[in-house]
Structure 1
Amino acid sequence: MGAFLDKPKMEKHNAKGDGNGLRYGLSSMQGWRVEMEDAHTAVIGLPNGLDPWSFFAVYDGHAGSQVARYCCEHLLEHITSNPDFQGGGGGGGPAVEPNVDSVKSGIRTGFLQIDDHMRQISEKKHGGADRSGSTAVGVMLSPRHIYFINCGDSRGVLSRGGAVHFFTQDHKPSNPLEKERIQNAGGSVMIQRVNGSLAVSRALGDFDYKCVHGKGPTEQLVSPEPEVYAIERSEAEDEFIVLACDGIWDVMANEELCDFVRSRLEVTDDLERVCNEIVDTCLYKGSRDNMSVVLVCFVSAPKVSPEAVKREAELDKYLESRVEEILKRQGDDGVPDLVHVMRTLASESIPNLPPGGELASKRSVIEAVYNKLNPYRNEDTMSLIPVLLLDNRERGSRISQKGHGIRGLLCYHKSQITSKRDSAMAGHRSVMKTRPHTLAEESSSVQPQPAERTTKRMAPLKCVCALCLKETAGLTEGTCSKSPLTG
């Protein structure tokens, strides 16, 4: 849970690199949240003689960024330096690769070590007052294996041979095994949260949930133990890996995101640009959270295709022409706002939209031409677009998939609409307070009965649409035929 801004912060942090037969790009954006609590790690060439190895991770902080920031700087060191990790031959040079069991055990030990270390730091520096926590999703790549690491509800996905081959499992309190551990520790799961509060059942930090006496670190209400999966690499088929926080997965399913990434890699080899398009598209789809994504590409990742580039250019040109046509068809109400333009386009069957991203992924193109043709736009309507683009069936689908993302957005816009309605009502009441005096000046010497004045004053309150408010301000008697507020 967290507070929201009036407008999203869309500035992005980017990075990219290559080595060990890999290319990577990343993007992170604060979005609607008041604070940026995400962090990330990208390292090609690991210490202790593991030069051919690489490590990437995304940390999704909550209740503060302290744990996420500390993990992004120190988690890798805790993993690679502990004896369990090195027990299978690590540190003996690049030709000696630790065995799978040692790597998995070392990763688990590293998580438990850093969690205990952060607890000690918190108790010494803050008196135990640091209540922040963080999920973690990562991938460690050796020459032979891919090790997926997950603790919490961020997620990692592997695309192989043009399809989703593997994805990590979210650790939610409602999962049967997670719920059993929580209950055994004396807790409960209410509204799909630990003790009705925390939405994840595994995380680093969150020490308020790790103080049950007689229980080990992996038996607490919230566990710092990661799940580690070892997958053999396939040089011919492995395409890319996506690591992302739940701000991405709230609005895009695994297949949708992989299809979208695949389509973007066919039009550009700039991985930073691809990651930026992912976070922008998720923002326009309605994500209200911080967003971070790391994209790691193998040698068999999709390549730029001249045909795909041509289709993309034709699509952009078509959208530009359609926006121009819609603006030319302005009626008595003047130039349509961007909400109207997006809703009109969403109702049409537009060919060659990016799979997974659909119209939301082209919002920047549409907005650019709209702003160019209509410099006197109303920017207050911009934030309503993500909700208005979703039809009822899609809204229900999104909510059932992840829960709080779209629901939070809908609640936010409901509050915005309610706020504007209340402001209109306040103005309406102000007009009504002055109305008896005006009527008195224009009336005859015979004053109307109090009951009659009351009837006249209350009748227009059935509606606060623009027409009725104008008529009220002009002291006219008519109202529109719209339903009252209660409808």
Structure 2
Amino acid sequence: MGVALPKPVMTKLLERQGNEIFRIGSCCVNGYRESMEDAHIVELRKDWGFFGVFDGHVNDQCSIYLEAAWHKVMAANPVPMTDEKMKEIALKIDKEWLDEGREGGSTGTFFVAMKKGDTVELQVGNVGDSRVLLCKKGACVPMTEDHKPSNPEERQRIIDCGGRVENCRVDGSLAVSRAFGDRDYKQGNGDQLQQKVIALADVTHESITFASGDFAALCCDGVFESNFSNEEVIEFIKAELRNSSDLAIVASKVCEEAIARGSRDNISCVIVQFNDGSDYGALPEHLDVVPGPFNAPKNNSFRKVYASMALKGNTTVDRLLEKRYDQLQKEDRSDPALRDELDIFGEGPPSTATGADRTRWFESLYTDLNGSARGDQSEQMQRLQLLQQQVGVPLPILLSLMNNGNDV
């Protein structure tokens, strides 16, 4: 999982999409991780839609690949498809990734929803431990089951393939027993289904009534790792929907709640309502980037992630900082945390600066912070101190163990 950031990067990437039968809002935040490794997909057609969340590990390359690959296959394959076809597609995408020789892996949970009269039929596929939750007639209906190495059938396959399950992880390392990619766990002599880790999707079905108020939530495992149960997530969304009809904002509240409950992971949440979403479909811009607090500017990793989230939101870190500064001007100055954050910006840009000149002032601020941080302490020492806090080992002992080549 790597070393956690000292404070979470809470920049939100909000998306709103829709057509005559679906209304979709999503949010993803980086949180405490050193990189954002999630991706998601929304593919809309006149009478069906395809939705998915992909939670990468090692890097973001596999999750990004899956987003593009599923776009491609859904455009080429007729809907409805059989369960066997959905499983076949998942295995084919996995093989293509492995054949490219690339590193990294990702879980994936996804579903096809097709409208037939007043009914919407869902076909849900799952590989790994992201989840699809359906709210049907007000009740939580889990559509997926996590693929964990400790599950009896998963454990037996791992052992049969020469692996071991240690600390609920494959070979003591990978926390899921099914995933796309992860070539190190797919080097056995068997076929695709006879490996320590496989990409075989479980498929489930459910049907709901169109425009009945039912909805689905696709969430990465970071939502649930913080003692946020399936039922609590659905009840939380229902409560937020009473306050706001903006699905992207509601999804962002789920992400914030997961972090507040203690999640240290990337967070992604996609909410799909089965009713007319033409208002979202008509939006000139579907992506909205909301800057999070810039409250750990002396930490190299925090600054890098903050800039990376700007790029993922199709903007730049100087524009994101400018937006955050303008946002702070409207906030209550009685909050000590906000006052501390404002101090980072000093007196702010000159009142006479406008347009590109004003934005360049924030670019200079970010550049200056990068330069001054080099004179404070090395990034390696910052990382070591954070790791020391997490594992509880005195820093001198930690340094000694690392110098001796031991894995702490």
Q: Same fold (TM over 0.5)?
A: yes
What is the alpha-carbon distance in structure 2 between the residues aligned to residue 77 and residue 374 of structure 1? Answer: 48
Contact 1:79 1:107 in 2 (8 A): no
| TM-score with structure 2 setting the length | 0.67
The residue type paired with residue 25 of structure 2 is G
Structure 2, unaligned runs of 5 or more = 278-327, 342-385, 397-408
Alpha-carbon distance in structure 2 between the residues aligned to 1:379 and 1:178: 49
Counterpart-to-counterpart distance in 1, 2:387 and 2:214: 39
CA distance in 2, matches of 1:57, 1:113: 17
Q: Relative to 1, partners in 2 of residues 1:110 and 1:417: Cα closer, same or farther, differing over 3 Å?
A: closer
SS at match of 2:95: helix
**Alignment partner of 1:230 out of 202, 205, 211:** 205
Structure with greater helix share of residues: 1
Alignment of 1:69-148 (within 5 A): 69-78=64-73, 81=76, 90=78, 98=80, 102-122=81-101, 130-144=102-116, 145-148=121-124
Task: State the shift of 1:153 in Å.
Answer: 0.5
CA displacement at 1:7 relative to structure 2: 1.6
1:277 paired residue number: 253
Mapped partners of 1:163, 1:300: distance in 2: 22
Query: How far does the alpha carbon of each residue in 1:84-135 deviate from its partner, in whole angstroms, 9 at most, with x for none?
Result: xx6xxx3xxxxxx63xxx431221111111111111212xxxxxxx330000
SS of the equivalent of 2:172 reads coil
- How do 1:299-338 residues align onto structure 2 when only pairs under 5 Å count? 299=275
Distance 1:147 1:30, change over 3 A: same
2:73 and 2:136 mapped to 1: Cα distance?
30
Query: How many angstroms apart in 2 are the aligned matches of 1:153 and 1:109?
Result: 19
Counterpart of 2:219, as a letter, is A
Cα distance per residue 1:216-243 (max 9 Å; x no partner) = 1012100011111122232365611000
With over 3 angstroms needed to count, the CA separation of the structure-2 counterparts of 1:216 and 1:162, relative to structure 1, is same
Question: In structure 2, do the counterparts of structure 1 residues 104 and 422 end up closer, same or farther at CA, with 3 Å as the change threshold?
Answer: closer
Deviation string 1:179-213 (CA, Å, 9 cap, x unpaired) is: 11111111111110001110000000001111101
Alignment of 1:442-461 (within 5 A): none
Letter in 1 for 2:151: N
Partners of 1:58 and 1:136 within 8 A in 2: yes
Shift in Å, 1:417? 11
Separation of aligned partners in 1, 2:40 and 2:388? 34
d(CA) in 1 for partners of 2:242 and 2:387?
A: 36
Residue 373 of structure 1 pairs with residue 352 of structure 2: no
- Residues 4/416 of structure 1: CA separation in 2 closer, same or farther (3 Å cut): closer
Unaligned runs of 5+ in 1: 46-50, 91-96, 123-129, 302-366, 381-411, 424-487
| Partner in structure 2 of residue 260 of structure 1 | 236
Give the TM-score, by structure 1 length. 0.57
Could you tell me which residue of structure 1 aligns to residue 6 of structure 2? 6
Distance in 2 between residues matched to 1:80 and 1:178, nearest whole Å: 32
Whole-Å separation in 1 of the counterparts to 2:151 and 2:390: 34
- Cα deviation, residue 8, structure 1: 1.1
The percentage of counterpart residues that share the same residue type is 33
| Structure 2 counterparts to residues 86-485 of structure 1, below 5 A | 90=78, 98=80, 102-122=81-101, 130-144=102-116, 145-213=121-189, 215-235=190-210, 237=212, 239-251=214-226, 252-299=228-275, 372-375=333-336, 415=389
Q: Aligned-pair distance for 1:370?
A: 10
Q: Distance in 2 between matches of 1:255 and 1:414?
A: 36
Deviation at 1:276, TM superposition (A): 1.1
| Residue identity matched to 2:237 | V
Change (3 A) 1:53 1:373: same
Q: Is the 8 A contact 1:239 1:300 kept in 2?
A: no
Q: Kindly indicate whether the alpha-carbon contact (under 8 Å) linking 1:80 and 1:106 is maintained by their aligned counterparts in 2.
A: no
Matched letter for residue 54 of structure 2 = Y
Aligned residue number for residue 64 of structure 1: 59
State the SS of the aligned residue for 2:193: helix
Deviation at 1:39, TM superposition (A): 0.6
Aligned residue-pair number? 298
- Cα distance change of structure 1 residues 79 and 212 upon mapping to structure 2, 3 Å threshold: farther
User: Closer, same or farther in 2 for the Cα pair 1:64/1:376, shift >3 Å?
Assistant: closer
Q: Give the C-alpha shift of residue 19 in structure 1.
A: 1.1
Rg bigger for which structure? 1
